[in-house]
Structure 1
Amino acid sequence: MRVFGAVLMVSALLLSGAAAADASPSPITWGACPEDPDSPTPPDGECGTLRVPLDWNRPHGPSIDLAVARHRATDPAHRIGVLLADAGGPGTSGAEFALATSFFSPEVRARFDTVGFDVRGTGRSAFIRCDDTTVPPSDEPANRAEFDALRQYSRQEVADCRAGNLPVFDHADTAVNAQDMDALRRALGEEKISFQGMSYGTLLGQQYAEKYGEHVRALVLDSSIDHSVDLRHFVGDRATAADELFGQFTAWCDRTETCALHGQDVRATWERAFANAGTSLRDLVFSDMYGPNWDDVAQLIADAAAGRPPMTARFEYNYRSIRLAVVCQDFDLRIRDFAQYSAVRAEELRRGPIMRGSTLGHDEATACLGVAGPPANPPHRLDIARAPQVLLLNARYDPATPYAWARNIHRQAPANTTLLTYEGSGHVVYPRNTCTRSAVDDYLLTLKTPRHDVSCPA
């Protein structure tokens, strides 16, 4: 969607406080970072704002301010440059992530200024907030009437969310964020930047490399989003991944005496638990698969099988709101009618009969029911021919970004991608062990990737 006319102009001026944006970014004025009320110590770094055009097709039109944070290299005499990082979501604050002291190794923090920015709609960059307190109808409609009710609910939810968050709601897809990132590069005075993206942040890295590959020094894509997938693969690949992870949990429980289900028929117990608790149990189990936290999964299933209901899943940040402006514009998830939904759901259940599909894939696809028009940032095959050698990382068993997606990205860019496979379970690979961390650190510090695809043990 794109907004035109007086409504856009008035809303944008109120948002930006300025009538126009310069096509060339202004230097960032750095200062102290806002204190985190949940932290006893002040942030270790400096913060500022970057002013960019609201609409990059109108570079001298209304503007928007993006929050930026930087932690300077601790060994400035041997500084390599800037490492821009994004932890994904969508909904995570990139500015806060750049200041996290425990994620990157001391070697990386010594040689790089770690920089992050809050992409549009997150953190302190025109935060998108929608009312998600109303109780939606089931997102697994059993007939046409239930599907029509879900679609009507989604249409109203999207309309209300959009109306309350104009004009940024119409200008928040990942292609726009990639243009913002290049404005940040220029404002920092860097000819090239290194980038490390995790989860949904990998899509930002991919789209930046497609458009600005000559300005990339190094690119790490950890647990990748495949922007080429259609609706069927968007939900189906994730359904397969969820069931594969359940298989890994079952194997762990069979060999681990402390598992709450050890010695039981895990699959049969799961079926009893699911019959008692339904999709709320699946959502919690799916969330625990990110770790994975197998002890908690076992206890959740044991409790539900015994008739003790699980707690309702919670989502961090503003993911449930911002996905309507981002995911629904980055992917073509428009389900036309109940017949198409039934076909997609049947495929989802065929590929993921144990978990009954993927919480993430199914939820995002049905959330986008009410979005009108084609996606602003339509999916396509990856083209990063202008980018340098890229390091891909993915767990063999990942609930959110299936291993199949990493392999497909690798096939789309075989000449300049190397795939590192973590032979274990969970989401985000870099901090898993010495093997995964050293592979990324060596690449960032020396630009040397393994000569062939490699794997790291679980």
Structure 2
Amino acid sequence: MRIFGAVLGSLFLLTGGTPAVAGPGWSPSPIAWTTCPDDPDSPDAPDGECGTLQVPLDWARPWGPSITLAVARHRATDPAHRLGVLLADAGGPGSSGAEFALSPSFFSPEVRARFDVVGFDLRGTGRSAFIRCDSTTAPPDDEPAGRAQFDALRSYSDEAVSACRARNLPVFDHADTAVNAQDMDAVRRALGEARISFHGISYGTLLGQQYAELHGDRVRAMVLDSSIDHSAGLERFLGDRAAAADELLRQFAAWCDRTTTCALHGRDVLAVWPQALAVADGLPAPHNWLRDRVFEDMYGPDWEDAAQAIADTLAGRPPMTAQFEYNYASIRLAVVCQDFDLRIRNFAQYTALHAEELRRGPLMRGSMLSHDEAMACLGVHGPPSNPPHRLSIPRAPRILLLNARYDPATPYAWALTIHHQAPANTTLLTYEGSGHGVYPRTACTRSAVDRYLLTLEPPRSDASCPA
């Protein structure tokens, strides 16, 4: 994902849906901290320390082969008043947790003063056995209009997933989020910490949720910003995001109506939008790139860019779409396809699901994010190694949930579902605006999170911050 890195095949023996936890026979070696590698885009080395940690490839067999995880740490700038470790993950999947921990501008100076901010590259990302698929064949249209097109897409996906898996073994089969939660506890143990705090964004919130389920008594504080709902079945996985994308488009239209700098100001945005989509449909591209561009703009949101892209398309000057170096398209096969049951059996089921997508999100034609993920998973067979389920965190402390009212990637409905599943130990802070990611939005959102992390005092009850 453009902002946070925008939104794995079993490491566990699953017994009743619960991953097997490594016994007391395995213990991590301390992390040897060294100077971080230079950033290729910067002449200066990052302000922090880097190291590696060996963990079992398969947590159910801790005596077997191991895998190396990249870890980074920015030490508390006020060590005399240090509160402990704050593990941070920016989500994706695909972003580098190690790089995120060294970001100088995300967390406030107060938080960086009191915590060692630590991040690690989850399996298949960054410097932790990076997963990369290498396909030279253009994929078929992922919105098949007939059974033959659906079968062609399934055949393509079968081959693509098989090739990607073969290229990235053994990590490809051992990279779901429940596995990463076990790795996170290994990081805690290697740091010598009895408890940790955690700040997860977007897909990183699933890592936090699963850690709280497995090791809730090891959590000091936890912030889940823009949450993934792990209990979502296939229909809700597609439909909730489709509805959220349409609501964001309505927010954009309202912004344009009241903003004179909008390139479409004075026009009926919801009326010209289908016209612009039709123009983009006629251009050679595997997707409707305009829909993709506007959807990406919803993350910010960057309404100025969305308006200009639509206006340019209507005027016959479609802009170029930026490309980002990011392995989300590869790693989602090993992660998202194993964390969710995105198995579409046949064309008849696809037809029903796609009709529901369009019913809930007719303006944006569904959610490009969920639709792409579900269609990419066509070639993944067998049940998910980390099956979706309701959140159960009885041993965890009070967790602070954050979500924007209008979020294209993690719908507000998902935050409400998570809150309702764990009402005794979650508090929900709603940002009454648009976009993906809440903490850095305003002084209100930042101060609520900082106060909670520093004092363990969440808002007294569910609260909101104005847009």
The normalised TM-score by structure 2 is: 0.93
Please give the residue correspondences for 1:103-182 in structure 2 after superposition, counting only pairs within 5 Å: 103-182=106-185
Match of 2:400 in 1: 391
Q: Give secondary structure in 2 for the equivalent of 1:341.
A: helix
| 86, 94, 109: which one aligns with 2:97 | 94
Q: Give secondary structure in 2 for the equivalent of 1:153.
A: helix
Q: Give secondary structure in 1 for the equivalent of 2:60.
A: coil
**CA–CA distance in structure 2, aligned partners of residues 228 and 158 of structure 1:** 25
Please give the residue correspondences for 1:173-212 in structure 2 after superposition, counting only pairs within 5 Å: 173-212=176-215
Q: Does residue 326 of structure 1 match 2:329?
A: no
Distance 1:2 1:450, change over 3 A: closer
| 407, 427, 435: which one aligns with 2:436 | 427
Q: Give secondary structure in 2 for the equivalent of 1:172.
A: coil
Residue 133 of structure 1, CA deviation: 4.0
Match of 1:237 in 2: 240
Q: Does residue 63 of structure 1 match 2:66?
A: yes
Q: Please list the CA deviations of residues 222-243 of structure 1 after superposition, one character each: whole Å capped at 9, or x if unmatched.
A: 0000000000011100000000
**CA–CA distance in structure 2, aligned partners of residues 164 and 182 of structure 1:** 28
Q: Is the 8 A contact 1:69 1:96 kept in 2?
A: yes
**CA–CA distance in structure 2, aligned partners of residues 84 and 343 of structure 1:** 41
**CA–CA distance in structure 2, aligned partners of residues 270 and 277 of structure 1:** 11
Q: Is the 8 A contact 2:10 2:179 kept in 1?
A: no
Moved more, 181-190 or 262-271: 262-271
Q: Does residue 371 of structure 1 match 2:374?
A: no
**CA–CA distance in structure 2, aligned partners of residues 127 and 404 of structure 1:** 33
Q: Please list the CA deviations of residues 152-205 of structure 1 after superposition, one character each: whole Å capped at 9, or x if unmatched.
A: 111111000000000000000000000000000000000000000000000000
Which letter maps to 2:356? E
Q: Please list the CA deviations of residues 373-403 of structure 1 after superposition, one character each: whole Å capped at 9, or x if unmatched.
A: 0000000000011100000000000010000
Q: Is the 8 A contact 1:270 1:305 kept in 2?
A: no
Match of 2:300 in 1: 291
Q: Is the 8 A contact 1:419 1:453 kept in 2?
A: yes
Q: Please list the CA deviations of residues 412-434 of structure 1 after superposition, one character each: whole Å capped at 9, or x if unmatched.
A: 00000000000000000000010
Q: Is the 8 A contact 2:157 2:379 kept in 1?
A: yes
Q: Is the 8 A contact 2:10 2:386 kept in 1?
A: no
Which letter maps to 2:207? L
Residue 308 of structure 1, CA deviation: 2.1
Q: Give secondary structure in 2 for the equivalent of 1:324.
A: coil
Match of 1:34 in 2: 37
**CA–CA distance in structure 2, aligned partners of residues 315 and 213 of structure 1:** 36
Q: Does residue 340 of structure 1 match 2:343?
A: no
Q: Please list the CA deviations of residues 323-357 of structure 1 after superposition, one character each: whole Å capped at 9, or x if unmatched.
A: 00000000000000000000110000000000001
Match of 2:425 in 1: 416
Q: Does residue 224 of structure 1 match 2:227?
A: yes
Considering only aligned residues, what root-mean-square deviation do their CA atoms show, in Å? 1.2
Match of 1:445 in 2: 454
Residue 207 of structure 1, CA deviation: 0.1
**CA–CA distance in structure 1, aligned partners of residues 136 and 318 of structure 2:** 21
Which letter maps to 1:220? V
Residue 309 of structure 1, CA deviation: 2.6
Q: Is the 8 A contact 2:86 2:115 kept in 1?
A: yes
Q: Give secondary structure in 2 for the equivalent of 1:284.
A: helix
**CA–CA distance in structure 1, aligned partners of residues 464 and 325 of structure 2:** 31
Q: Give secondary structure in 2 for the equivalent of 1:232.
A: helix
**CA–CA distance in structure 1, aligned partners of residues 362 and 132 of structure 2:** 34
Q: Give secondary structure in 1 for the equivalent of 2:402.
A: strand
The normalised TM-score by structure 1 is: 0.95
**CA–CA distance in structure 2, aligned partners of residues 150 and 201 of structure 1:** 30
**CA–CA distance in structure 1, aligned partners of residues 187 and 102 of structure 2:** 17
Residue 37 of structure 1, CA deviation: 1.2
Q: Which runs of 5+ in 2 are unaligned?
A: 1-8, 12-24, 282-287
| 247, 259, 282: which one aligns with 2:250 | 247
Residue 147 of structure 1, CA deviation: 0.4
Q: Which runs of 5+ in 1 are unaligned?
A: 4-21
**CA–CA distance in structure 2, aligned partners of residues 139 and 230 of structure 1:** 20
**CA–CA distance in structure 2, aligned partners of residues 2 and 127 of structure 1:** 17
Q: Give secondary structure in 2 for the equivalent of 1:274.
A: helix
Q: Give secondary structure in 2 for the equivalent of 1:221.
A: strand
Which letter maps to 1:91? G
